[in-house]
Amino acid sequence: MKSLGIVVEYNPFHNGHAYHIQESLKATGADLVIAVMSGNFLQRGEPALVNKWARTKMALKAGVDIVFELPFPFAAQQADIFARGAIGILEAARCNFVCFGSEEGQIEPFLQVQSFMSQCQTEYNSSVKEFSKAGYSYPKASSLAFKKVAQDTELLDLSKPNNILGLQYVQAIKDSYSIQPCTIQRIMADYHSTELGTHPIASATSIRKRLFEESLSIDSVKNQVPSSTVKELLHYLNQYEAFHNWELYWPLLQYKIISSSSSELAGIYEVEEGLQNRFKGAAESAASFKEFMESVKTKRYTWTRLQRVSLNILMNRSKDQMAAESREPAYLRLLGATDKGRQYLHQQKKKFDLPLITKPSSYKEKLETDILASMIHALPLNPANQTLIRKREFQPPVFLDHEKGS
């Protein structure tokens, strides 16, 4: 079986994701889809709307055959580390292709830029440092550095978020792996679009925004998500009585910041250049996470970067811990599979380049950080639901039989 790898968050799974799967299968001629999915916290430093098990079910019911977890040390990271972890897992699972959505829509410009960058890496890195010192955020500094190095060469628009991430996938592949990259055109909704509109394809950002604006009314987004997502969202809300966003975690983060010394905060991953003092000052007076973020936001630090710093504080991840854990993926944590996916696992698992984990209770030490992330993600829920989630973390993967509809 030819296998297609995709990198996803599904926060939540929507019609645009279904389009991505369908078009990626057409583009590659693959027989099944393997997703590497972020766990309970995401690349932009946000808590997932619903936990990884609910999102795994959404994926399996909508066309994905296997879901592996992208471990926390890669999932909540800047684009290059995020991409390295995700591609490493798909390569270890012996995927033939990886297909990502992009504003560009053609793979050739990504390959050209990757080749160009490999020849100008030293000059590019120097320019990034130069623009960063001038006070630009890392994404802006990277874009300006590329324009400076490339000069009049028009290869790829690196001001677009999906193009930026796509280039990191291609660079990760060309550095170490044999998986074949491809891309499809992202249609309709912009990645950061906050307005839902009436079109059936909308951004996950706009869907989440509408849910919280409409008092968690799932009917308000049912035109933009598959019926299977509607079902899982309803089930999650009925069971846990909440969808997750940063405001739920603000009291926990505020306590952690206020009760930590400046030197303790300075040891947290991504806390740099006196940011700990800015955080402590803002945390003492802010009444909400939004107010806190508005107080610490500067031109140099993007909202995403500050959310990731906040998450690292909440998770108590030190610089040394994250540096050690984010070098290379160490395992394939299976979250779920369809009947076709299980056939693939049976045929290929002995050829996998990393150990396959289907019994998490036997790998508690290896999964320690992911388990911690699940526990913290559940903290705002009532005690009974926290207990349910703790138990679920050590149960078998989700197995779905499409023919039986279960």
Q: Is residue 160 part of a domain?
A: no
Instruction: Look at residue 118 in the predicted model and tell me its pLDDT.
Output: 82
Sign of the dihedral through C-alpha 315, 321, 327, 331: negative
The reply, when asked if residue 186 is annotated as ligand binding, is yes
For the chain, the domain total comes to 1
Q: What is the pLDDT of residue 406?
A: 52
**Phi, then psi, of 201 in degrees rounded to 5:** -105, 120
336 is in an annotated binding site: no
- The reply to whether 162 sits in an annotated binding site is yes
Residue 14 assigned as binding residue = yes
Q: What's the rounded Cα separation, in Å, for the pair 251 and 246?
A: 10
Distance CA 38, CA 286 (A): 29
* Structural domain includes residue 261: yes
Residue 389, annotated as binding a ligand: no
DSSP for 19-61, please give it: HHHHHHHHHH--SEEEEEEE-SB-TTS-B-SS-HHHHHHHHHH
Of 95, 106, 248, 262, the C-alpha closest to 179 is: 95
Q: Is 199 annotated in some ligand binding site?
A: no
Q: What is the pLDDT of residue 193?
A: 60
DSSP codes joined into one string, 70-126: E-HHHHTS-HHHHHHHHHHHHHHTT-SEEEEEESS--SHHHHHHHHHHHHSHHHHHH
pLDDT averaged per 10 residues in sequence order, the chain, 406 residues = 97 97 97 98 97 98 98 96 97 97 94 87 85 78 81 77 93 89 82 70 94 95 97 96 97 98 97 94 97 92 94 97 95 98 97 96 94 96 90 92 52
274 lies in a domain? yes
Q: Which residues pair with 268 in a beta bridge?
A: 318
- Does the annotation flag 8 for ligand binding? yes
Q: At what angle do helices 368-378 and 383-392 cross, to 10 degrees?
A: 160
Helix/strand/coil for 169: helix
> Which two structure tokens, joined as six digits, stand for 27?
């583009």
What is the distance between the alpha carbons of residues 378 and 327, in angstroms, rounded to a whole number? 27
Contacts of 324 (CB under 8 A, 6+ apart): none
Residue type, 31: D
Owner of token pair 């170490």: 176
- Is 20 a known ligand-binding residue? yes
Residue 9 labeled ligand binder: yes
Cis amide prior to 12 (ω within 30 degrees): yes
Cβ atoms of 263 and 277 within 8 Å: the answer is: no
Closest by Cα among 247, 187, 191, 192 to 216: 247
Phi first, then psi: what are they for 368, rounded to 5°?
A: -55, -45
CA distance 371 to 388: 13
**Kind plus residue range of the DSSP H or E element containing 280:** helix 275-283
Residue 14: what pLDDT?
Answer: 97
Amino acid at the residue 20: H
Report the C-alpha gap between 276 and 406 in whole angstroms: 48
17 labelled binding-site residue:
yes
Residue 292 assigned ligand-binding role: no
pLDDT value of position 333 = 98
- Is 87 within the bounds of a domain? no
Secondary structure E strands in 280-338: 332-338
Distance CA 71, CA 58 (A): 19
Q: Tell me the C-alpha distance between 275 and 269, whole Å.
A: 11
Annotation-wise, does 7 bind a ligand?
A: yes
Measured between alpha carbons, how far is residue 296 from residues 174, 275, 303 in Å? 37, 9, 9
Q: Helix, strand or coil for residue 184?
A: strand
Q: Domain range spanning residue 269? A: 246-319
Is 251 labeled as ligand-binding?
A: no
User: Is 85 within any annotated ligand binding site?
Assistant: no
Is 134 part of a structural domain of the chain? no
- Looking at residue 276, what is its pLDDT? 96
Is residue 317 a known part of a binding site? no
Q: How far apart are CA 154 and CA 152, in angstroms?
A: 6
Q: Is residue 375 in a domain?
A: no
Is 301 annotated as contributing to ligand binding?
A: no
Q: Is 64 helix (H, G, I), strand (E, B) or coil?
A: coil
90 located within any domain: no
Q: Is position 13 annotated in a ligand binding site?
A: yes
Is 71 in contact with 329 (CB distance < 8 Å)? yes
Residue 19 assigned as binding residue: yes
Is residue 70 assigned to a domain?
no
